[in-house]
A and B are shown apart, each in its own frame.
Chain A
Amino acid sequence: DIQMTQSPSSLSASVGDRVTITCRASQGIGNDLGWYQQKPGKAPKRLVAAASSLESGVPSRFSGSGSWREFTLTITSLQPEDFATYYCLQHNSYPPTFGGGTKVEIK
């Protein structure tokens, strides 16, 4: 199985901060990567597909980049509603595998 190493596992940030989350795949996955946001008690919501395609309705302060083995989710100006846990998911080969998550907390 492809291992997805996500970092950091948690971070504290303030409203307005720029936040960067990284996922590293154990082998090349092209751009077959998605980013998800999960708030407490809710299902994960996909923010980014194909490494860099923003889902409809997702604010433009979110962006995804990268390919092959290294990927990044960036939030350019953190808003109060962005405090959540973020996950990456590779679907290049079966089984699809998730990163361990990054909890973004209020500083």
Chain B
Amino acid sequence: EVQLVESGGGLVKPGGSLRLSCAASGFTFRDAHMAWVRQTPGKGLEWVGHIKSRPDGGTADYGSPVKGRFIISRDDSKDTLYLQMSSLKTDDTALYYCATSGLSTWGQGTLVTVSS
């Protein structure tokens, strides 16, 4: 069974940083493209970015609201996906989900609150 478990969310001040993790199991992680999606009551669901598998180049792409501030990476030896968030803004407050390629399977989400 495919499982994705996010962690690392919490309360952070504007301008601060936070790193989210997503532990994967039940599939061959190293061959999978992975994504982050966030959800807020106001803006709904928003694609944050994705990272390709290393065999396909391992490159990452980002949505405009986070480009230059967020970095997606992966550790295939640990079957773990990461989202490094910096220069956080109050608008980044959201529930963050990791998801498999094509957004077919999602984790349960981790809440990030950016507030002073």
B contact residues, total (Cβ < 8 Å): 16
Candidates B44, B104, B109; contact of A46 at CB < 8 Å: B104
Bound Cα distance A94, B97 (Å): 18
Q: Does chain A have a CB within 8 A of B63?
A: yes
Bound Cα distance A93, B12 (Å): 33
Please classify the interface of chain B as helix (H, G, I), strand (E, B), loop, or mixed, using the class held by over half of its residues: mixed
Q: Which residues does chain B contribute within 8 Å of A97, judged by CB atoms?
A: 47
Q: Is the Cβ of B104 less than 8 Å from the Cβ of A43?
A: no
Q: Is the Cβ of B103 less than 8 Å from the Cβ of A100?
A: no
Closest residue of A by beta carbon distance from B49 = A95
Chosen A-B contacts, 27 in total, with CB atoms closer than 8 Å, are: A34-B102, A42-B108, A43-B97, A43-B106, A44-B97, A44-B106, A45-B106, A46-B104, A46-B105, A49-B102, A55-B104, A87-B44, A87-B45, A89-B45, A89-B103, A91-B102, A91-B103, A94-B61, A95-B63, A95-B64, A96-B47, A96-B103, A98-B45, A98-B47, A100-B44, A101-B44, A101-B45
